Chains A and B, each alone.
Chain A
């Protein structure tokens, strides 16, 4: 089935709109207007069960941190295996659509673990991370990664690989690896900041 010109451009335009919105949000007046109002929400996060547990029991916080890292490892494995296949570096003798479909399922589980444990950790240190620019960079990278994965990469890989432009698939693979590496690196850097 050939890739529809219309659907491809629809996604491209949606992605461009999201990027434009993000740039406007970052550099326009929206960020400075919304930012002060978010403080109340972050203060509330610390009063939730997650916040109280995270702040009271250091061991619980550290344990959840470790689970977060394990989720990251599984997510990274899925990204590297499937993007390595797109780049022609890994598992080249394995059926591509099976690989993409199966790694996607594990990816979704890993992402769910990451988000759940991430929310827990954020609640424990909410008023600290609110003031950390690197936290907001991580959130931007995470949103970009999720949007990219589910609205660009995943629909694209529903098609047979030989129907797609090889340059495009390789660019998608590189972008995917970079965006998730960015999410992980900015997340690690939160620990060094503040």
Chain B
């Protein structure tokens, strides 16, 4: 699996567009800035919904209405983050594919998606009974709390990717190197 990921990253790295994106000072920085700034739209909307469920934000506003109205801008934000995230990966594929933080981030994204699906299912089933209550029922509060925690760790991992603490090197070995997917004899680091 790690070899497949490494070879895929090498193949992407060899494409002309990857090099151009990586070496373009302004384009790369614009893509990265857009990735970060869309946090305000995507996570901004999501956190307001989560905080509403926990009773910390907009407690007088109908929870289902707030979630429904903020859903569209939130999804637009996530779409932008997703596109720019793919471009960032494409610009630096080998290092990113072997970043411990990137791998944890991807796992957390999957966890977030599962949590969001479960959260929406539970909310749609029960919304009539508590919609105008300041706090959502316990199971939904747990979902909102998990969402806040997962996304906070995603942002932390995203920030940590920029640092080279656990980058693969010719001497990499051990547990962290295994998790990062460093492979024996790799030629690019």
Contact = CB atoms under 8 A, between A and B. Distances in A.
A70 interface: yes
A84 interface: yes
Interface in A59-90: 59, 62-63, 65-66, 69-70, 72-81, 84, 90
A66 B29 contact: no
Interface string A34-74: 00000000000000000000000011001101100110111
Question: Which of under 10, 10 to 19, 20 to 34, or 35 or more describes the interface residues of B?
Answer: 35 or more
Contact of A70 (B48, B56, B155): B155
B29 A192 contact: yes
B45 A80 contact: yes
Nearest to B58: A102
Contacts, number: 116
B65 A93 contact: yes
B45 A77 contact: yes
Interface centre among B32, B58, B59, B65 (most CB of A within 10 A): B58
Contacts of B69: 90-91, 93-94
A80 B33 contact: no
A69 B44 contact: no
Contact of A76 (B44, B152, B156, B165): B44
Interface residues of A, number: 37
A157 to B, nearest CB: 15
B39 A72 contact: yes
By secondary structure, the A interface counts as helix
B24 to A, nearest CB: 12
A98 B57 CA distance: 11
A63 B82 CA distance: 23
A63 B41 CA distance: 22
B170 interface: no
16 contacts: A66-B158, A70-B43, A73-B40, A74-B47, A75-B40, A76-B44, A78-B48, A79-B40, A80-B40, A90-B70, A93-B65, A93-B69, A94-B61, A103-B57, A188-B32, A188-B37
